[in-house]
């Protein structure tokens, strides 16, 4: 999946015109790329479309139109586009009550490294987490993590061939598993993978 360049982006003026339609398309696309794992963890699987939307929204919100500023956003978000051999996801650890959230984040240190995908017939693949910066402290984990799941060629081929995908977390204080990712999500994730030999 190719990375985004300045040429792929709308100007601020053009984005203002096309935003309602583009936003509706992206929201529809995202529906098949969001996966709850238990009651408090949600994985948002990213791709070129979700990252273009994120960049366009950042440029719009910050009114960035200079080349250096645009490049800065591209450099920040391009690493979240899958490379053909992996899935990349934003992990949200969500608790509605502030007090409950503080306690829970203190109990869930390392949860991002205990999050996995498993292609039918293959071993679990645990996330490589937060490659840009460390998000855990000694006292708590972050509510947001960035994950990369690196697959073997055999795993990618199996997914391309229709194999089921499971996703789970096996942290001491949070153990949940989706045994079979819904078909529309599975098919969307299969599109992230190149046909590897």
Is 52 found in the same domain as 41?
no
**What angle, rounded to 10 degrees, do the helices at 153-160 and 183-190 form?**
130
Answer yes or no: do 112 and 162 share one domain.
yes
Q: 193 and 97 in one domain?
A: yes
First to last CA, the chain: 16
Q: Hey, which residues does 97 pair with through a beta bridge?
A: none
Does residue 185 share a domain with residue 133?
Answer: yes
Shared-domain flag, residues 61 and 125: no
Say yes or no: 23 and 116 in one domain.
no
- Residue 160's H or E segment, with its range, is helix 153-160
Whether residues 195 and 162 fall in one domain: yes
Q: pLDDT by residue for the chain (197 residues), tens digit each?
A: 789 999 999 999 999 999 999 999 999 999 999 999 999 999 999 999 999 999 999 999 999 999 999 999 999 999 999 999 999 999 999 999 999 999 999 999 999 999 999 999 999 999 999 887 777 778 899 999 999 999 999 999 999 999 999 999 999 999 999 999 999 999 999 999 986 54
Are 124 and 140 in contact by the 8 Å Cβ rule? The answer is no
């Amino acid at each position: 999946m190719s990375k985004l360049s300045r040429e792929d982006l709308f100007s601020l003026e053009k984005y203002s015109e096309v935003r309602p339609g583009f936003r509706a398309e992206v929201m529809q696309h995202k529906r098949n790329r969001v996966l709850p794992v238990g009651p408090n963890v949600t994985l948002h699987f990213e791709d070129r479309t979700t990252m273009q939307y994120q960049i366009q929204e950042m440029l719009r919100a910050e009114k960035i139109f200079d080349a250096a500023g645009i490049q800065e956003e591209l450099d920040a978000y391009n690493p979240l586009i899958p490379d053909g051999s992996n899935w990349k996801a934003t992990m949200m650890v969500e608790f509605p009550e502030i007090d409950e959230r503080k306690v829970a984040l203190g109990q869930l240190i390392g949860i991002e490294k205990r999050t996995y995908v498993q292609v039918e017939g293959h071993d679990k693949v645990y996330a490589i987490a937060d490659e840009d910066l460390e998000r855990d402290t000694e006292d708590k984990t972050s509510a947001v993590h960035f994950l990369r799941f690196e697959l073997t060629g055999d795993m990618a081929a199996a997914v391309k061939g229709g194999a089921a995908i499971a996703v789970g977390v096996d942290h001491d204080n949070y153990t949940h598993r989706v045994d079979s990712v819904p078909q529309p999500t599975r098919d969307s994730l299969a599109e992230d993978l190149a046909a590897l030999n």
